Amino acid sequence: MSQQSRPVVIRNGRVIDPSQGVDTFGDVVLVDGVVHGIESLGATQLPDGWSEFDASGMIVAPGFIDLHTHLRTPGQEWKEDPKTASDAAVHGGFTTICAMPNTYPAQDNASVVGELMLRCASESAVRVRPIGAITKERKGDELAPMHELADAGVVGFSDDGDPVMSPHLMRQALNYSTDLDLPIINHAEDRGLVAEWDMNEGVVASHLGLRGIPNSAESMMIARDIELARITIGRLHIPHVSTGESVELIRRAKSESIKVTAEVTPHHLALTERWVYGENGNVPDVLTENAYDTLAKMAPPLRTEKDRQAVIEALVDGTIDAIGTDHAPHAATDKVCTFTEAANGIIGLETALSLACGIAGIDISLAIERLTCGPRTILGDDSIGTLKPGAKADVAIIDLQGDWVVESSTLGSKSHNTPLLGKSVLSRVAATFVGGVKVWDATGDGAKDA
C-alpha cells in the first residue's frame, strides 16, 4: 500500500452507500487518499493531474470488508500469501480483510502478529487487520495473552476451525472481551457430539455413504456461547452461520439484547449439500464420476435448501449482520483425493458477489450493506466501509450484469478450490480503489487522465 494516489473522479455511476442511506446517480471524488464527496459534476473539466473512471452502467460502493480471510501466512505460503490474498481481495472488491489466526505459528503473541503486519505492509495492496488466537497455539488449553494481542492491534480473537470446547475458557475469554471491547469469534461445532464427519447429515450423505454431521452440532455450541455471553456481558461474534436452528438462537439472543453478532458466507447463501454430487446443485439419476466433489467440502458443510432459505431470511431481517467469505485456500493435493481425506475449505474473496447476488439473488443494496456497514460496525472503524467525506478512499465498482468464467488462469488467489471453477457466473467487480489508488481494473479501459 505504498503507492501514492492522485485525485480521481469516478463518474456517472449509481452510487450506493448504506452508511449514509445514499442510492443516487453521481460522481465520487477521491482526493489525497480520502473521499472528498459524492457530487454531480456533469461535464465539468477536471484540473490538470486529475484522472477519471467512467462507471456508466455500474454501481459505485464503498470497498468491501471481509471479517474472515485465511492468509495461510506464516507457515503455509504454498497455499496463499499476503500478495496473492490481496490480489484475490481486490478482484472481489474487498479493500479490508481480517486475517484469521490458524497459522504456523499461530497468531497467539505480539511477535507473530507484528511480523505478519510488517509483511502485509510491504506485500498487500489492501488493509489487513489481524485476529488473535483465543488460546495458546489454538490448542484450547490456556488463554493466549489477550491484552498483549490487543496492544499489538488485533481486532478480535478466534481459534478459528478449532472450537473452544471448554466452557470455562470460553467464559474467561468473554470476560476479557468486556474490558478490551473486542469480539470473541468461536467456531460453532460441538465435537463432543460428532468427532469425525464428511458433510451435512441427511439424505445426500446417506446416498453417498459419507459420514454426516447434524445441524445440532452447530446450534448446541451457539446456544452455549450465547448463555456465556449473557452472564459475562461479553462480545460474541458467530462466524459462518449455516443452519435454521442457529438463526433462531441468534434472533432470540438479539431480542434479549445479548451482545451477539453473526456472519454468513456467500456459499451458504447460494449453495446446498447437493453440490457434493458435482452437478451444479442438481440431483443425478445415477451417480457419475462427478460425484464426491471435494471442492464442495467445507466446514461448516453445505446444508439443505431449508437451511439456505433460513440464512437468507436472517440476512434480510438483520439477524445476520455481515457477509464473511471464510476464504480458505488449499493446494490441489488437498482436494485431489477421496472425499474423506480432502481438506475443508473454499476460496471466497473473488466469487463473493457472484455467489450472493448472481446465484443467491440477494438484493445488491442489501449485499453492499452486509459487506460494508455490518463488518464496519463490528470492527468499530468509522474510516472504512463508507463514502462519507474524510473516509478512506476505498471503492468497489460493480458490474451487476457482467458475466465471467471462474478460471484458474484469471484468479488472483494462489489456490483454486471452488466448485464454481469453469462455470460462467453473473455479477462481478469491475474495478477496485484502495486509498484512492486503482488496484484492480477488469474493464480494460482504466482511468483516464484529465
What does the domain layout of the chain look like in residue ranges?
Answer: 8-59+395-449, 63-379
Q: Which of the residue ranges 42-56, 134-148, 189-203, 364-378 would you say has the lowest mean pLDDT?
A: 42-56
Q: Which CATH superfamily is domain 63-379 in?
A: Metal-dependent hydrolases (3.20.20.140)
Task: Tell me how far apart the alpha carbons of residues 352 and 129 are, in angstroms, rounded to a whole number.
Answer: 19
Q: Given this model, what pLDDT does residue 449 score?
A: 42
Q: State the average pLDDT over residues 34-48.
A: 84
The SS3 assignment for 317 reads: helix
Residue 136 has pLDDT above 80, yes or no: yes
Closest CA to 239 of 227, 212, 254, 221: 221
Residue 291 has pLDDT above 50, yes or no: yes
The SS3 assignment for 260 reads: strand
Which residues are CB-contacts of 346 (< 8 A; sequence separation ≥ 6)?
Answer: 267, 295, 296, 298, 326, 328, 417, 418, 419
Closest CA to 122 of 66, 83, 71: 83
CA angle, corner 415, sides to 289 and 128, nearest 5?
145
Cell of 10: 469516478
Closest CA to 263 of 192, 352, 181, 163: 352
Q: Given this model, what pLDDT does residue 450 score?
A: 42
Contact 286/207 with Cβ under 8 angstroms?
no
CA atoms within 13 Å, Cβ hemisphere of 192: 7
pLDDT band at 42 (very low <50, low <70, confident <90, very high): confident
- The pTM assigned to this predicted structure is 0.96
Q: Given this model, what pLDDT does residue 105 score?
A: 97
Residue 2 has pLDDT above 60, yes or no: no
Residue 448 has pLDDT above 60, yes or no: no
Residue 310 has pLDDT above 50, yes or no: yes
Which residues are CB-contacts of 396 (< 8 A; sequence separation ≥ 6)?
Answer: 60, 61, 62, 63, 64, 93, 94, 95, 429, 431, 432
CA angle, corner 66, sides to 6 and 339, nearest 5?
135
**Can you tell me which residue has the cell 452486509?**
370
Cα separation of the two ends of the chain:
24
Orientation angle between helical segments 364-371 and 305-317, nearest 10 degrees: 80
Which residues are CB-contacts of 313 (< 8 A; sequence separation ≥ 6)?
Answer: 247, 319
- Catalytic (active site) residue 326: yes
Cell of 182: 473486542
pLDDT band at 5 (very low <50, low <70, confident <90, very high): confident
Q: What is the mean pLDDT of the chain?
A: 96
**Can you tell me which residue has the cell 472504512?**
384
Query: Is residue 60 classed exposed, middle or buried when 0-12, 13-18 and 19+ CB atoms within 10 A define those classes?
Result: buried
| Cα 154 to chain centroid, rounded | 17
Do the strands 236-238 and 260-264 form a parallel or antiparallel pair, or are they unpaired?
Answer: parallel
Q: State the average pLDDT over residues 255-284.
A: 97
Each residue of 364-407: pLDDT tens digit?
Answer: 999 999 999 999 999 999 999 999 999 999 999 999 999 999 99
Q: State the average pLDDT over residues 246-275.
A: 98
Topology of the domain comprising 8-59+395-449: Urease, subunit C; domain 1 (2.30.40)
Q: State the average pLDDT over residues 310-329.
A: 98
Residue 418 has pLDDT above 90, yes or no: yes
Q: State the average pLDDT over residues 8-15.
A: 96
Q: State the average pLDDT over residues 350-370.
A: 98
Q: Given this model, what pLDDT does residue 1 score?
A: 53
Which of 27, 87, 326, 381 is labelled catalytic? Answer: 326
Phi-psi domain of 447 (left: phi exceeds 0; alpha: psi -120 through 50; beta: other): beta
Q: Given this model, what pLDDT does residue 445 score?
A: 56
